[in-house]
Amino acid sequence: MNSMPLNLIVGRVARGREHAEDLSPDEAQSLFAAWLAGDLPDLVAGALWAAYRIKGESVDELRGFVSASEASLPSVSIDSAYRPVVFPSYNGTLRGANLLPLLALILARCGVPVLLHGPAASTASNVMALTDHDPSGRVSSAQIFAGFGLPIAHDNAHASKQLQQQGLSYLPMEQLHPGIGRMLQLRQRLGIRSSAHTVVKLINPFQISAVHCAGVTHPPYLKLLQTFFSTTGRIALCLRGTEGEPFANPKRRPDLHTCVAGDYALWMAKDDKPLAQIPALPVDQSVSATCRFMDRVLSGRTPLPAPLADQALCLLSLSGRSVDMDSARALLSQTLSGNTE
């Protein structure tokens, strides 16, 4: 921690929306490193948790928070000709099926390494009802991975092996970065989300360039994430997520924004035409119904909803797996028809 007294740090960021100050990247990095290491007194950590929930994080603060997180993160390794895609999956779904695992599996079958991270299946299924983005009753990606027999890693080295062998892995944050994992678990005690819930959308678990796929619930956060990815020169796809999960609404495509080499652009505009036909979707949001739907799509018996197909095309391009949209469409069609030779 830097030489500034903690009470001055708290005093700067905990003065409400109108008067709170933003920390510099270096100050934010030093503070978050101490936070991750458990070196902050409980009283200070709790005050900062609530203060940032009210103030929000600046781009400079997020840069510092992410730098601190990545500096203490044992990396996941991958040897691939294509950039791996990273899906942070922390919300789960309540009103509709969580189709993020389906999208991830399709990309992996197309030859793109895909890593998802989020809470462990046991953690996700054992939460109390809260008033701030209530996580109870939601179906997590970890639960669907387990139900479909997809690989869940028990540590970073195991995730590296799964990615090399199968091109797909789900790694619980408790294993990926224990410090962040501990912070996330405090949500059940404090009842509100924290800066850690934003940071997990931004970290790169790899030592090489990756494609971040970040979904937001509230539109103002979309601009914040775009600015972060552009400022840091990272490659990303940002979208209004489905119940906060980073996959396109299967009924109507949201705006798909890309960030590449410091620039961001609207890659594909939202579909605002009247819905001509409701796509085939799982009968409910349960794990069993979602797994049955995944099996039908992967076997070619049910079409992949068009918004998810559009998102897959974008990620195939950003990963370097496809050189243009035509080749991406051909690859996706070939993969979903079962003919991948």
What is the full per-residue pLDDT of the chain (341 aa) written as tens digits?
556 688 888 999 988 878 899 999 999 999 999 999 999 998 888 889 889 988 999 999 999 999 999 999 989 999 999 999 999 999 999 999 999 999 999 999 999 999 999 998 766 555 555 555 556 688 999 999 999 999 999 999 999 999 999 999 999 999 999 999 988 888 767 777 788 989 999 999 999 999 999 999 888 889 999 999 999 999 999 999 999 999 999 999 999 999 999 999 999 999 988 777 888 999 999 999 999 999 999 999 999 999 999 999 999 999 999 999 999 999 999 999 865 44
254 and 209, same structural domain? yes
**pLDDT for the residue 340:** 44
- Whether 1 is in a domain gets the answer no
- The domain that holds 214 is classified in CATH as 3.40.1030.10
Judgement on whether residues 98 and 155 belong to the same structural domain of the protein: yes
237 plus 259 within the same structural domain: yes
Give the pLDDT of residue 3: 61
26 falls within a domain: yes
> 332 lies in a domain?
yes
Residue 76: inside a domain: no
CA distance 276 to 173: 40
Residues 12 and 95 in one domain: no
User: Which residues span the domain enclosing 57?
Assistant: 6-71
Domain count, the chain: 2
Rounded to whole angstroms, how far apart are CA atoms 244 and 12?
Answer: 30
Whether 341 is in a domain gets the answer no
233/297 same-domain check: yes
Q: How far is the C-alpha of 1 from the C-alpha of 310, rounded, in Å? A: 45
Residue-wise DSSP of 25-67: HHHHHHHHHHHHTT-S-HHHHHHHHHHHHHH---HHHHHHHHH
* Same domain flag for 42 and 94: no
In-domain check, residue 37 = yes
pLDDT score of 185: 83
Residue at which a domain ends, from 71, 95, 126: 71
- Asked whether residue 166 is assigned to any structural domain, the reply reads yes
